[in-house]
Structures are given as structure tokens and as C-alpha cells.
Structure 1
Amino acid sequence: MVEKALESIEVGSHSFSAASKLFDKTTRERSWLLYAWCRRCDDIADNQEKGGPLGDQGTPKDAEDRIQAIRVLTRRALEEQPTADFAFDAFGLVAKECHLDYDMANDVITGFAMDATGFAPTNERDMMRYCYHVAGAVGIMMAHIMGVRSDDGETLDRANDLGLAFQIANISRDVVEDAAAGRVYIPADWLAEAGLAPGEHAKPENRFILASIMPRMIALMQKHEDAARLGAKNLPFRSRWAVLAAANIYGAIGRKVLDRGQKAWDSRTRVSGLEKAWHVTTAFFEALRNNPPGPDEPITWSRHDYRPLAGW
């Protein structure tokens, strides 16, 4: 099961795969099991294979049925019943070992439901709630895998921040790919302020204006990335190193999008293997010092500000 989970992460996320190998053996393998479930849920929701091109989405009823299948299989896994799908069985195993429950899982499934039913954010709050459901909630489950207690709200909040930062970087990088699939994750009011219409915003002739939104987007990413570093202070060294490496790598993706300006979407923005090695090395020394400055503004938010999203 662990070997199949490793294969899943190596195909689906080079960045997370690189960072996960810094964990101790038990945490590393548990993180792979969790990732396998996330990847499989995403594939079912989007009718795709291993994160590849989106399949035929069918009718709204088809989308609803796929999400319901995810919920049923997840509940069976949590009840230690066979699912005939290794990724759900893997989730059942890691959930039992790390005390993950259905509410945690359902927060993530809500993100898949939002995607499958055509969610598009009206404002920043909508976007951040989406980011919570597709990534922040995963960060919280990862914190439990790393041994964070359920009553350690501060560290769980900062784990959520890491997921939020990751997803903002992903949204920034994937604007054009998402638009080609009929999806828009930049808030509609941000686009309106820039004079862009959803669906038109990613066209080549509009990318100079689109790039003008990125400083705002990446500043938001940076805020949550910096907050996440404070939470890493409370983790064991190997986990702290892995988290800081992941923050460095995903943060670099967002900053590259910003630096590339209107050319950011001419080709996929990537962090090379050599750059990843640098970010891993930098994270090692950051983990040793363990004295992050935190964000420039006071932290006045928590994970509870992003959930639940009514109606999903």
C-alpha cells in the first residue's frame, strides 16, 4: 500500500514528493497515504486519471454522484470496511493511526464538490474559503499526522495557513490552464477592478492586465506563508524541516509567477531540481535556527474563519 501511495505522489506532485522525503519514516509514509486519498478523490471528482486532463464532466447530476461516491467510500474507509480502492483503504489506515475523522475528511471533500459544481469566487473571502477546503484542511490533517494535538489550536491554525499559501500559489500559476477548463479562482471583484471579465481574463491580449493582479495575490500568499512558519516552530525537527522546505518551494512558485509578469503563463512556471535542492538546504538551516519572524501584520485570523462554507 505504501509503495502504491509513493507512486501516486511521485506522479501527482513533484514538489510535495521532494519535501515529504524529509520526514521521519513513519510520518513520511503516512503523508503518502493521505496524499493518495487526496489524489484519488480529485481524480474521481474531475473524472480524470492521476491529475491528467479533465474528463467529460457530464451533467450536474453526474458530478453530484461522483462526490457522493467519494463520501461513501471515505466513510467506509473510516469504518474499517473494504472499499476495493487502495487509496481509500490507505486513508482508513492513516486515519485510524492519526485520529483523523469524517469532519476533517468532509472539509476536503467539500473542496472537490466546489470544483465539480462550477464554484467561482465573488470576492477574496470566497477564494480563501475555497483555498481552505482544497488545501488548508489538508494542512490540518497533515499536522495531525505530524503529531499535533487536537487541542493545539495555534499550530493547527498555522498548518491551515500553509495550505492556504500553497493553493494561492497554485491559483496564480494555473490561471490559464484553469480558464481553459472553464474555471476561475481569482475573485470576480478583483477582475472587475482590473477591467477584466471572467472567461476573458486569461486571453493572451489580457495578460499584461492579469499580471497587475499578481502583486496582490502573491502578497496574500506571502502573508499566510510567513504565518505558517510560526507554526513550524512547534514541530519536531524533521517535520519542521519538511514543512519549511515545502513552504520555500511553493513560495518560490508564486514569486516566480510575480517576477515573470505577463509571461508567467507562456509556459508552466516550475521550480527546477537544483532550485528545490537549494530550498531544501535553506530550510535545513531555518529549521535549525527555528526563529521565524512571522508576517508583517498581526495574525488576527484562524482556521475557523474559513469554515464551514454553507451550501456545499
Structure 2
Amino acid sequence: MMRTELDAAGIRDARLRAAYQRCRELNARHGRTFYLATRLLAPAQRPAIHALYGFARWADDIVDEPLPDDPAGTPAQRLDAVTKDLHDSLSGVAVNDPIFAALADTAARYEIDQVLFDEFLDSMRMDLTVTDYPDRAALDRYVHGSAAVIGLQVLPVLGTVGERAEAAPYAAALGKAFQLTNFLRDVAEDLDRGRVYLPADELAAHGVDRARLQWCRSRRRIDAEVRSALAAQHEIAREWYRRADSGIAQLHPVSRPCVATAAVLYSEILDRIEETDFAVFSARATVGNARRTRVAGSALARAWWARRGSRAHTLTKAAG
């Protein structure tokens, strides 16, 4: 399957093909919902999406899953090295890790601005020192780099029917919606890492602070005040999905089934959270395999017809 995708994308170099393969494996292993949605894209589009996901996942793991006594250095030192390798690879200098080869090739093919990668790494650095966010503005600065720019990175690969700038706010909004969903789903896991990704002033309006969240975490239960606070955050996440939804029509028809499927499946994590009465401290909300398969299956026919109506070679360089 990967060979077909690489051939469709015109990627012939053996070293580069191996680099894209590594990114694809990272996507398949760690991003189940996202990976399933990418299967709805045209084969020529998929390697680039895998490269963008692979880089983001790899950098995120440096921060969230640091190795004890890592010979490569501390997470901060590793991120500094990643930044240097990123800049070198984007300027045409070969670096050791193949992820950068795939990323640089994708960035060149689709003319993705280096600033979007730098802003992502800036947010990853914040995770090394910032553990709480006093208000929405502070959190938004983090979310811009950690999520909104991901939507902007993939937009050139997805393609648009009009000017890319018109679709950009919607792409950023969907990335933000995904991230806010993660924050709700992973409250307990983030607390275990010493972080709270919910604005402190908005929690305080419901009588909630970090200590109260930690109390719920230690007892694997929720109280009325925390439930109320999480319900308010839940509605904010819902609003970002609503904002992003109208932007799907601005994407190239071939890409719409993929993005619509990802949006449906990720938003259903919010459904699961609500259905369990916000029991995020005792269980991790997920969308089951059967449901993912049904949603993707219903989109498959739409994706197939969209591909028939488009010439595959136009997707190797999306509209700008």
C-alpha cells in the first residue's frame, strides 16, 4: 500500500521512500483516528500527511515521554537539536534522522512556511516550563503553536477550491477543536505530568483549582463543581467544531471526506465524555473500532467518487 502511495506522489528516491515509510508507521501506531481518516485521501496526498504527523508526534514525544538518562540530552537540549536539524533540512542540508528528509520534501513540494514548524516547536518548549495557564489568552498562545498551525500545515496538502487564505481560519479552528478535545479527555493524564491545560480563571468561576482537580484524580471521581467546570470547557470545544465545520466546503472535493470523518470521530470523543457524565478521572473517553469503521466506511464512497472527478496529478501540488 505504501509503495502505491509513494509512486502516486512521484517519490522515487529509495532513501526518501524509507523516510516516508517511517512517518507512516508513526501515524499508524499513535494516531488511530487520524490515520484512519487519511485512508480517505488520494494516495498521492497521504505521504505528505504522514510526514507532517510523524514530525509532530516525534517532537511531542520528546516532551511528553522523555527517556531517563537519555544520551541525546535533556528534552530542552533535544528540542534545540530538533530545531537546528529542522532548519538545516529545510535549507537543503542532509541530517541524520530520516523524519527530516520526509518533512523537508513535503515542505518543499507544498510550499509550507517554515514559521509554522517553528511555532509548533515553540509550544513544545512551553511544555517544559509552563504547567498552568491563568486565562484563555495564555492558553490560546499555546494552542496556536500546538494545534492551529498543524491545520495550517496540512491545508496546502488538502487543497482548496478558492484562495488558501480564505480556508486558513477554518483549518486552524479545526486543529484547535481537536486540541481542546484532547485537553478534556486527558485531564487526568496531564495532571500526572504536572500540567493543567484549562484556564485557571474559568475553572475558578466554578470553584475549581488545581488542588481540586488533583483531589478528583487521586480518588478517580468527580464532584459537582468540577463537573460544572468541565461542562463549560466542553461547550467551548463544541463551538470550535461548529466554527470549523463550514470550512470543509472550501477544501478540494477529494479532501472533504477525510476531514469530515476526522471531525466527526474526534467530536464524538466529546459525546463519550458527556455520556459518562464527565468521568474523565476514572476512564479515558474513546470512540470504538466499530464506530470508527462505520463512519469511515460511509465516507469511502464519497471519497472514491471525488477522486474519479479529479485528476490525481493536480493533488501533488494543492491550490494556493
Report if TM-score (shorter chain) is over 0.5: yes
Query: Is 1:73 paired with 2:64?
Result: no
Query: Is 1:85 paired with 2:97?
Result: yes
Query: Is 1:277 paired with 2:309?
Result: no
**Structure 1: how far apart are the matches of 2:302 and 2:89?**
38
Q: Deviations over 1:13-67 (max 9, x none)?
A: 1111111111101111110011111111112234x3xxxxx54599xx9443232
Query: Is 1:4 paired with 2:22?
Result: yes
**Structure 2: how far apart are the matches of 1:137 and 1:155?**
13
1:298 equivalent in structure 2: none
**Paired letter, 2:213:** H
* 1:6 positional shift: 1.4
Question: Is contact 1:241–1:284 with CA below 8 Å preserved after alignment?
Answer: yes
Look up the SS of the partner of 1:40 in the other structure. Answer: helix
Question: Is contact 2:131–2:194 with CA below 8 Å preserved after alignment?
Answer: no
Query: Is 1:236 paired with 2:252?
Result: yes
Question: Is contact 2:208–2:229 with CA below 8 Å preserved after alignment?
Answer: no
**Paired letter, 2:284:** R
CA 1:64/1:5 → structure 2, altered by over 3 Å: closer, same or farther?
closer
Alignment partner for residue 166 of structure 2, among 137, 154, 173?
A: 154
Query: Is 1:203 paired with 2:215?
Result: yes
- Where do 1:26-41 residues align within 5 Å? 26-41=44-59
Of 112-121 and 32-41, the range deviating more from structure 2: 112-121
Count the aligned residue pairs. 281
**Paired letter, 1:273:** N
**Structure 2: how far apart are the matches of 1:153 and 1:279?**
29
- Where do 1:1-312 residues align within 5 Å? 1-46=19-64, 48=65, 54-56=66-68, 62-148=74-160, 152-204=164-216, 207-208=222-223, 209-281=225-297
The alignment-based identity, stated in percent, is: 24
CA 1:287/1:217 → structure 2, altered by over 3 Å: closer, same or farther?
farther
Q: Deviations over 1:70-96 (max 9, x none)?
A: 211110110121111111221111101
Q: Deviations over 1:104-163 (max 9, x none)?
A: 111111111111222421112222232221111001111012124995322011000100
2:309 equivalent in structure 1: none
Question: Is contact 1:182–1:199 with CA below 8 Å preserved after alignment?
Answer: no
**Structure 1: how far apart are the matches of 2:110 and 2:75?**
30
CA 1:200/1:269 → structure 2, altered by over 3 Å: closer, same or farther?
same
**Paired letter, 2:243:** A
Q: Deviations over 1:189-233 (max 9, x none)?
A: 122222222244143356223222222212211211122121110
1:303 equivalent in structure 2: none
Q: Deviations over 1:220-252 (max 9, x none)?
A: 112111221211101122311000100001100
Question: Is contact 1:173–1:265 with CA below 8 Å preserved after alignment?
Answer: no
**Structure 2 residue runs without a partner (length 5+):** 1-18, 305-320
1:307 equivalent in structure 2: none
**Paired letter, 1:207:** I
**Paired letter, 2:81:** A
CA 1:104/1:256 → structure 2, altered by over 3 Å: closer, same or farther?
same
Question: Is contact 2:135–2:201 with CA below 8 Å preserved after alignment?
Answer: yes
Question: Is contact 1:57–1:63 with CA below 8 Å preserved after alignment?
Answer: no
Of 273-282 and 139-148, the range deviating more from structure 2: 273-282
2:8 equivalent in structure 1: none
**Structure 1: how far apart are the matches of 2:62 and 2:102?**
16
CA 1:147/1:262 → structure 2, altered by over 3 Å: closer, same or farther?
closer
Larger radius of gyration: 2
TM-score by length of 2: 0.80
1:297 equivalent in structure 2: none
**Structure 2: how far apart are the matches of 1:132 and 1:193?**
24
**Structure 2: how far apart are the matches of 1:57 and 1:165?**
35
Aligned-CA RMSD value:
2.6
CA 1:91/1:215 → structure 2, altered by over 3 Å: closer, same or farther?
same
Structure with more relative contact order (C-alpha pairs < 8 Å, separation 6 or more): 2
**Structure 1 residue runs without a partner (length 5+):** 49-53, 289-312
